[in-house]
Amino acid sequence: MSTNTVEKTTLHFIKASATGTPVINYSGFDEQQEYSAHYGFEETEVINARAVSTETVFNLDNAGFQLTNFEPNEVDFLESETVKADYYPQVEALIKAQTGAAHVVAFDHTVRRGIKASNRHPAYHVHNDYTHQTGPIRAQTVLDDAILKRFAGKRMVQINLWRSIDGVIEKDPLAFLDFSTLDSNDLVKANISFNDMHSTQKHQGEIFALKKNKHQKWYYYPEMDGSEAVLIKGFDSEPSSARFAMHTAFPLANQGEHNKPRQSIETRTYAFFDV
């Protein structure tokens, strides 16, 4: 297990001088993501969350992210329908147990593999999957009307569960921004587009990107394996709680061709509370 307290690296922020709307494009095939000129890499310190004081506890409500143990029954993660049938229920059960939610619905997932044959590589840009507007809009498009009606007016939280699907992560781990150190004035709305692999259809979305601020505190969990997972908040209808966790893949200082590519799965859910 790594004993380094700080990893010095570069993170992909929106440039301080940038104006207009940043754009990210995924081809849907095996190319890396493409970024508009608004983006630039900046030197950043990422703190080993395993090495911080035991009095410091990162959870969904105070920081927007939370480490947990998770050892589900393994499935073939390249078979989408199998993941939905066998893996989604295990994710839903874990999030329900960790958060006390009354109901959890898994609605989507992405497998990322840092290899040539992958159509989704680690995402090297600081982002949150939703904005304050698109979080609720996404729920309207993926959830049954009965669920939305049952929990109308109640707290709704979008939560991703992220974990390795190929042993210890040796390259491109995730860094997470402690929400308590976020200045909302640094948030930038960015457009993101996806080409469907099986058609010419283009999918458009809006996410949060970020400008760097010296007060930001970034953390990561070194050498995660398949027995652990990180819960990442993407939206919370409760304004008194951490609203989300900005995050990004980043290169470790000592990673290279001798390290195996990172393979991971992020499963997207909505959690509902009877309050």
Over residues 174-226, the pLDDT tens digits come to: 999 999 999 999 999 999 987 655 555 667 889 999 999 999 999 999 999 99
Query: What percent helix, strand, coil does the chain show, rounded to 5?
Result: 15, 35, 50
pLDDT tens-place string over residues 35-85: 999 999 999 999 999 999 888 899 999 999 999 999 999 899 989 999 999
Confidence of residue 12 (pLDDT cuts 50, 70, 90): very high
**Which residues, in sequence order, are CB contacts of 167 under 8 Å at separation 6+?**
225, 226, 260
pLDDT of residue 121: 78
In this predicted structure, the answer to whether residue 32 has a pLDDT above a threshold of 80 is: no
Strands of the 263-272 sheet, one edge to the other: 65-69, 228-236, 156-164, 263-272, 103-113
Q: How confident is the prediction for the chain on average, in pLDDT?
A: 92
Q: What does pTM read for this prediction?
A: 0.94
pLDDT of residue 27: 66
pLDDT tens-place string over residues 104-118: 999 999 998 877 666
